[in-house]
Amino acid sequence: MTAAKTYYITTAIAYVNGPPHLGHAYEVISTDVMARFKRLDGFDVFFLTGTDEHGQKVAKTAAAAGKEPKAFCDEIAALFKQMDAELGISYDRFIRTTEDDHYSASQAIWRRIAEAGDIYLEKYSGWYSTRDEAFFDESELTASPDGKKLSPYGGECEWVEEPSYFFRLSAYTDRLLEHYEKHPDFIQPDFRRNEVVSFVRQGLRDLSISRTTFNWGVPVPEAPDHVMYVWLDALTNYLTGLGFPEEGGRMATHWPADLHIIGKDIVRFHAIYWPAFLMSAKLPLPKRVFGHGFLNIEGAKMSKSLGNVLSPKALADEFGLDQLRYFLLREVPYGSDGSFSREQIINRINSDLANDLGNLAQRVLSMTGRYCGGAVPQPAGFTTEDEALIRQADALLPAMRAQIDVQAFHEALETAWVLIRAANGYVDRQAPWTLSKTDAARAGTVLYALMETIRTLGILLQPFMPESCATLLDQLLIPAESRTFAHLGRDHALAPGAQIPKPQGVFPRFVDKDTPGEPAV
């Protein structure tokens, strides 16, 4: 028996300085879509997400809240786990960097880097942003109106002087550039790759990887007065999740990671520091780092001070979970910044989901009940136009697979909607309501071709809208074990004669109670 193809995918682990918001939901939903798609496509998937709980920022935030760091982290990590449950996220492990096995993994990679001769002790003097948990060169800083030094990401920087262990990052400049050249898909989208390559070509400086002015972190092996730089600790979570430093098990089958999905603001850490650490530790590099864009709210950046930080649960409760998942991945090209607005999501729900897909399914299944006695009809020979629709449905998997493999989620959904629009046009042209009066066999053939198209759509759209597609496939009597991509195509077509239930609407129109005059449907 051939072993299943493996696929290892991760989100960035969320920093626990505050509760989750829509930006966190955007990342974990998109990663969940990738994981679900690959599972349905026959892969042995391991999907890792979790929380990043060390560092000076967490220590300060916990102190400001009057709590010990671990107690504070326990509370915030629970909120992220709750969000994932509310969003139906199908992760295989939720990792916390305060777990014992992560301490072991972090200290193990430190020792491997030290054995490679890439760590040395010196005094650190430089600019550090607690908000960004990053060191910055003087040339990267700007000044605020009141004269404070700011990082490129807006975090206030302070001058730090303390003993520190350093990683010889400068020694990896050429090796990193060579890797980027040989693996052009390592950093995506391309414009993120170009930013990283440009930065590295300027030359890299050695990196401070320990701190002594606080103790909330993983202790440095054999130097317990130092704690590891939070990013060395945090990035190692991707190895911890597979059982590192053990070499068997999932480390043997699933590493290197196929895809790290992260926010654009942490591409530098994942595309420069992380591969350099792995090179030093003599471990394979991940296959791709994808830096997605940010979501604005009604055109404005999410901000607590502006009061526009949206709760994922509140949005899912109002609009529907699958509707929210669909909107987030349909509206904006993945990798670019986008915007969330009530008007946009309502338009997508009512136009794409209710009018296009929902209406298609409701019409076809209702006509099957009305004209075929509720039984899957027996096709009586396909015409050229029937075959064209069925071939278009058969071509959907390879097209969507190619788009999903490069994280072009919006393109994959548009490809599915091209078929949905074609099927709706086919209904109108064939007019089975008229055929039922003059040629019942032909009406049955038309409805069969449409039911097969809906079966294909229901299976392929599961990663995006799992609950709604399950309801749709239930109405077609598709067994749970027959909903993988291996069951697409004519060899697994609907069996004529099966009695389907009375159809229920899957995608109701959204009626905005705040919009006067909106008709109820």
| Per-residue pLDDT band at 301 (split at 50, 70, 90) | low
Q: How confident is the model at residue 306, as a pLDDT? A: 45
Q: Is residue 299 part of a domain?
A: no
Indicate if the pLDDT at residue 517 is higher than 50: no
Q: Is 160 exposed, middle or buried (0-12, 13-18, 19+ CB in 10 A)?
A: middle
Indicate if the pLDDT at residue 300 is higher than 90: no
48 and 128, same structural domain?
Answer: yes
User: What is the sign, positive or negative, of the torsion defined by CA atoms of 53, 153, 293, 301?
Assistant: positive
Tell me which H or E stretch contains 232. Answer: helix 230-235
Q: Which of 328, 335, 363, 365 is nearest to 349 (CA)?
A: 328
Q: How confident is the model at residue 406, as a pLDDT? A: 98
454 and 351, same structural domain?
Answer: yes
Q: What is the pLDDT of residues 430-445, one digit of tens each?
A: 999 999 999 999 999 9
**Contact present, 510 and 350 (Cβ < 8 Å):** yes
Q: Is residue 512 part of a domain?
A: no
228 and 167, same structural domain?
Answer: yes
206 and 106, same structural domain?
Answer: yes
The total of structural domains in the chain comes to 2
244 and 377, same structural domain?
Answer: no
402 and 273, same structural domain?
Answer: no
Average pLDDT over every residue of 463-471: 98
Q: Round to whole Å and give the CA distance between 325 and 511.
A: 19
Domain of residue 64, CATH code:
3.40.50.620
Indicate if the pLDDT at residue 336 is higher than 80: yes
User: What proportions of the chain, in percent to the nearest 5, are helix, strand and coil?
Assistant: 50, 15, 35
249 and 128, same structural domain?
Answer: yes
122 and 231, same structural domain?
Answer: yes
User: What is the sign, positive or negative, of the torsion defined by CA atoms of 56, 61, 64, 67?
Assistant: negative
Q: Is residue 182 part of a domain?
A: yes
Q: Is residue 510 part of a domain?
A: no
From the CB of residue 140, how many other CB atoms can be counted at a distance below 10 Å? Answer: 16
Of residues 339 and 474, more confidence is placed in: 474
Q: 220 has which bridge partners?
A: 223
- Candidate from 150-164, 221-235, 393-407 with smallest mean pLDDT: 150-164
Q: How confident is the model at residue 136, as a pLDDT? A: 86
Average pLDDT over every residue of 76-94: 97
| Per-residue pLDDT band at 518 (split at 50, 70, 90) | very low
Q: Is residue 52 part of a domain?
A: yes
Q: Round to whole Å and give the CA distance between 428 and 145.
A: 63
472 and 350, same structural domain?
Answer: yes
| Both tokens assigned to 21 | 């918001």
Please identify which residue in the block is written with the tokens 């792995």: 278
Q: What is the pLDDT of residues 160-207, one digit of tens each?
A: 888 999 999 999 999 999 999 999 999 999 999 999 999 999 999 999
Indicate if the pLDDT at residue 218 is higher than 90: yes
Average pLDDT value over all residues in the chain: 93
In the β-sheet with 295-297, what is the strand arrangement from edge to edge?
300-301, 295-297, 338-340
Of 249, 267, 293, at which residue does a domain stop? 293
Average pLDDT over every residue of 316-337: 95
Q: How confident is the model at residue 3, as a pLDDT? A: 62
Q: Is residue 311 part of a domain?
A: no
Indicate if the pLDDT at residue 147 is higher than 90: no
200 and 102, same structural domain?
Answer: yes
Domain of residue 422, CATH code:
1.10.730.10
**Contact present, 29 and 23 (Cβ < 8 Å):** no
Q: Is residue 503 part of a domain?
A: no
Residues spanned by the domain of 473: 346-492
Q: How confident is the model at residue 342, as a pLDDT? A: 92
Helix, strand or coil, per DSSP, at residue 278 = helix
Helix, strand or coil, per DSSP, at residue 65 = coil
Q: What is the pLDDT of residues 475-495, one digit of tens each?
A: 999 999 999 999 999 999 999
What string of DSSP letters covers 342-398?
HHHHHHHIIIIIIIIIIHHHHHHHHHHHHHSTTB--------HHHHHHHHHHHTHHH
Indicate if the pLDDT at residue 304 is higher than 90: no
Q: What is the pLDDT of residues 409-433, one digit of tens each?
A: 999 999 999 999 999 999 999 999 9
284 and 178, same structural domain?
Answer: yes
| Per-residue pLDDT band at 452 (split at 50, 70, 90) | very high
Please identify which residue in the block is written with the tokens 């159809």: 503
List Cα–Cα distances, 480 to 56, 470, 471, 476, 487, in angstroms.
48, 9, 11, 11, 11
Q: Is residue 312 part of a domain?
A: no
288 and 350, same structural domain?
Answer: no
